[in-house]
Structure 1
Amino acid sequence: MAGNFIRVACSDCENEQTIFEKASSSVACAVCGTTLATPTGGKAAIEGETVETVEAR
């Protein structure tokens, strides 16, 4: 049940934010408020561009 942390770039403001790939709630950009990820029951649907995997478990 482990997941990875990934760095996602916002499509609107290019801010990079680290999020959990199995997020259970919506994740918004800390700068502009655009939705970066929405929960789907498993892995979250990532709306921004995935830059890198920060920590693989």
Structure 2
Amino acid sequence: MAGSFYTVACPDCENEQIVFGKAASEVACAVCGHTLAVPTGGKAQIEGEVVETVEAR
């Protein structure tokens, strides 16, 4: 399974969370519940700011 993991900053509370680039389900912020990633059938649509690539494959 090829895909990357990203550190994403929440636009509402600035919490940083690791998100898989091809997420198959909606990913919410663990602190405030804001949606960080929405699945699209391929690469997920990232809603927050991508801070860094944690692991690229």
Q: TM-score, normalised by structure 1?
A: 0.97
Cα root mean square deviation, aligned: 0.6
Q: Which residue of 2 aligns with 1:16?
A: 16
Share of identical aligned residues, percent?
77
Is there any run of 5+ residues in structure 1 with no aligned partner, and where?
A: none
Letter matched to residue 50 of structure 1: V
Q: TM-score, normalised by structure 2?
A: 0.97
Letter matched to residue 44 of structure 2: A
* Stretches (4+) displaced over 3 A: none
Q: CA deviation at 1:2?
A: 0.2
